[in-house]
Amino acid sequence: MSDHTAVEIFLSRLFKCAGTVSTTYYNTRVVKTPDNAADIELLKQIRLISPDIRDTFQLRSSFRQFLNTALSTERLFAIGANVSGYFASLEKLLAEHSLAIQDGRDASAEQYEMAIREAISDIADSIDDELTILYAMVATKFAAVSTIAEKRRQNLHYQDRTSKLVSLLENFHFADFADQLAGNEDLALSFRALLEDRIPTFREKLKAVLKQLQQYLFEFRKIEDRTRLVRSFALHLNRNPDWAPKNWDEAATPPEWVGLAAPMELACHPDISQPESEDVLREIAAGIPASAEMRIERRPPGQLVEETPETVVVVAQSPLKKAVRAFFTEAAESPDWISARRWWLEHPSMTISIGEDVWLLRLVSEDEREGRDSLWSFRRVEHPHPVFDGNVLIHDVLAARRGL
């Protein structure tokens, strides 16, 4: 009988198809070939891929949305979190849980408790994921699109979505979820720690994002006005190639629009090297108020006090640093290339608290810092980013003893 759980078996099968999943994700679809036929059949069995047109396949929407959230990928008009649906599901589960307790169905009540706990976590995670997507959009100013009109439509889409979510969270205190969970200590604690105590923070962060989106919309409108003026001037130059601005300095009575520019502010200071500035400097010095008399406070003589020995604080080494050193120690003695992602999976006792993306970035940083004088060889499995020039997407890193 196998000691592996169903989750471990599923993840190990998914890891075998990592290359096909990555290609399908970044190209939006993949063509079935003899090389990837086995991977596609396996992904169809575990319901992570679905048929497309012309003998191609694409990732299922739920799996693709999970990767978008995990990788903070910027998508056009990304689907938002259905927070209201999660709240409706939680309300139904609470009602069924109450009926199960009244009817004395203990087994059903325990199942509903597990479902309620998952529903609470789903709501908190969905709001957190929504904030991640919105922060990415605001930070890049909708970099996935190039024209001002597209950016403006993207802004309106996310502004409307954020406003609805803020309104939903502002009305959260009218719900009686906490009262319904008061009879179960574990569920009440989960609800309070995972959701109720975090709602004010979520609400304030979403309001900040909404304010930034409104500011961006105002800036986009100003850019549109300036663009319209520049285009009109360019059209004027094309129609009148010999046109040149008039020298208004020579006009005795310039038109009114010439004086609409904001005046220049000049700050003048006397030149202390010129004798003519002596009177001005004297007036400035006379206007400086006299300083109060300085008081010198003398400290009383001190006493010798025997110093206590300093406490030696031993800082425990972080799990990430231990794992990095263990990986490179093993790689320095290995005659074959060691995959960092496979090593991360095979050593859960050391990497359980380390995210896979953090793990890869830490290894790359460690090699750049000590790679020249190290005892290992290092290689990155990467390819250029399809959209952003000058960036690369790192899929894995390999390490082995020096000389390979």
pLDDT (tens digit per residue) in 51-89:
776 678 877 767 776 776 666 554 444 445 567 777 778
Same domain, 87 and 205: yes
- End position of a domain, from candidates 70, 101, 121: 70
Same domain, 63 and 123: no
Mean pLDDT of the chain: 77
Q: Is residue 261 part of a domain?
A: no
Name the residue with higher pLDDT: 279 or 224: 279
pLDDT band, very low/low/confident/very high, at 372 (cuts 50, 70, 90): low
Q: Is residue 243 part of a domain?
A: no
Q: Is residue 220 part of a domain?
A: yes
Same domain, 47 and 117: no
Residue 371: give the domain boundaries.
319-401
Same domain, 171 and 63: no
Same domain, 114 and 29: no
The average pLDDT across 146-159 equals: 76
Q: Is residue 137 part of a domain?
A: yes
List phi, psi (to 5°) of 129: -65, -40
For residue 159, give both structure tokens.
């502004």
pLDDT band, very low/low/confident/very high, at 269 (cuts 50, 70, 90): confident
Same domain, 224 and 87: yes
Residue 367 contacts residue 374 (beta carbons within 8 Å): yes
Same domain, 108 and 56: no
Confidence (pLDDT) at 174: 53
- The number of folded domains in the chain is 3
Q: Is residue 138 part of a domain?
A: yes
- End position of a domain, from candidates 228, 259, 293: 228
Among 164-173, 242-251, 345-354, name the one with the lowest average pLDDT.
164-173
Same domain, 124 and 201: yes
Same domain, 89 and 65: no
Q: Is residue 179 part of a domain?
A: yes
Q: Is residue 294 part of a domain?
A: no
- End position of a domain, from candidates 210, 228, 246: 228
pLDDT (tens digit per residue) in 222-243:
776 777 778 888 888 888 888 8
The average pLDDT across 28-44 equals: 82
To which residue do tokens 């010439």 refer?
A: 258
The average pLDDT across 289-305 equals: 71
Same domain, 36 and 172: no
Confidence (pLDDT) at 77: 40
Q: Between vectors from CA 203 to CA 197 and to CA 206, what angle results, nearest 5°? A: 140
Total-model pTM: 0.40
Same domain, 224 and 95: yes
The residues with which 30 forms a beta bridge, in sequence order, are 57
CATH number of domain containing 217 = 1.20.58
Q: Is residue 234 part of a domain?
A: no
Same domain, 45 and 107: no
